Copies of this chain bind each other. A is one copy, B any other.
Amino acid sequence: MDVFEAAAEPNRRHLLGLLAERDRTAGELVDSLPTLTQPAVSRHLRVLREVGLVEVRPDGQRRIYALKPDGLQRIDDWITPYRRFWRDHLAAPRLETP
Contacts and interface: CB of A to CB of B under 8 A. Distances in A.
A50 interface: no
A16 B70 contact: no
A36 B4 CA distance: 21
Interface string A1-21: 010110110000100100010
A76 B90 CA distance: 14
Interface secondary structure of A, over-half rule: helix
A43 to B, nearest CB: 18
Closest 9 pairs (CB-CB, A-B): A69-B86, A8-B8, A4-B8, A5-B8, A69-B89, A72-B82, A69-B90, A20-B85, A76-B79
Given A72-B82, A72-B85, A73-B90, 5 more contacts: A5-B8, A8-B8, A69-B85, A70-B86, A72-B86
23 contacts: A2-B8, A4-B4, A4-B8, A4-B13, A5-B8, A7-B8, A13-B78, A20-B81, A20-B85, A67-B85, A69-B82, A69-B85, A69-B86, A69-B89, A70-B86, A70-B90, A72-B79, A72-B82, A72-B85, A72-B86, A73-B90, A75-B79, A79-B79
